[in-house]
Amino acid sequence: MNIINKLIGKDDKFFDLLETGAHDARRSIQMLAALLRAKPDGPTVADFMEARRKDKLITEQITEELCKTFVTPLEREDIEALSVALYKIPKTVEKFSEKFMCCKAALGTLDFAPQLGLLEQAAEIIPQMVRELRLRKNLAAIKEQHTRLQALEGQADKLMLAHIRELHNGQLGPLQVIMALDLYETLEKIMDRHRDAGSVLFRVVLKYI
């Protein structure tokens, strides 16, 4: 009976892991906010590395469970795609933290608040979408959340263009412009990671609801 149970699996096992991955992704954005707002007890690069390693373990555990389970609540490729999409969020946040820590002293008073605000909104949406996927009842909610993510990503694109114009106004030196542009682009990639995770979730929901 134990062997049969392992082969059949339970919905909770995979959805528990996916929800943990979604919450860890949100936690990485909360750490990013603490870093950019220069809180006294803010995270270090090591903290971001540990957060990324933790989420990597979840991805590996999902892969292991897929290998051991015959019947899964969603198609295997969908579970893997969502797991990887969620993992890429803390991974990209870690990359930003490394770059920021290396050059923050030379950046002056660059303002990352607008992009950070958009990321914080996106970070709240992803766990909600994973939760709705688990319930598999409310397609309208998933569609609305997906639309919100697309809108946030569009706003982030406009902000990026505004930042590029600002960086070419001659107030910063060449090296500062290069560093700032790299950081702004990495923040935009973090938003893209949220959009990608949302798109995977939306495609999966269209299959099963």
- 70-93, pLDDT tens digit by residue? 888 889 999 999 999 999 999 999
d(CA 63, CA 78): 12
Sign of CA dihedral 129, 131, 134, 137: negative
Q: What is the pLDDT of residue 9?
A: 45
Residue pair 59/24 in contact (Cβ under 8 Å)? The answer is: no
Predicted local confidence at residue 89, as pLDDT: 97
| Contact indicator for 88, 191 with CB cutoff of 8 Å | no
Q: How confident is the model at residue 8, as a pLDDT? A: 40
Query: Would you say the pTM of this structure is higher than 0.85?
Result: yes
Q: Distance from first CA to last CA of the chain, Å, rounded?
A: 31
Nearest-5° angle of CA 197, CA 178, CA 114? 50
pLDDT at 2: 38
Which residues in the chain come in under a pLDDT of 50?
Answer: 1-9
Contacts of 156 (CB under 8 A, 6+ apart): 115, 118, 187, 188, 191
The whole-number pLDDT of residue 70 equals 81
pLDDT at 192: 97
In the structure encoding, which two tokens stand for residue 192, read together? 């893209």
Domains of the chain by range and CATH? 2-208 (1.20.58.220)
**Whole-number pLDDT of residue 10:** 53
Average pLDDT in the chain: 88
Q: Which amino acid is at 65?
A: E
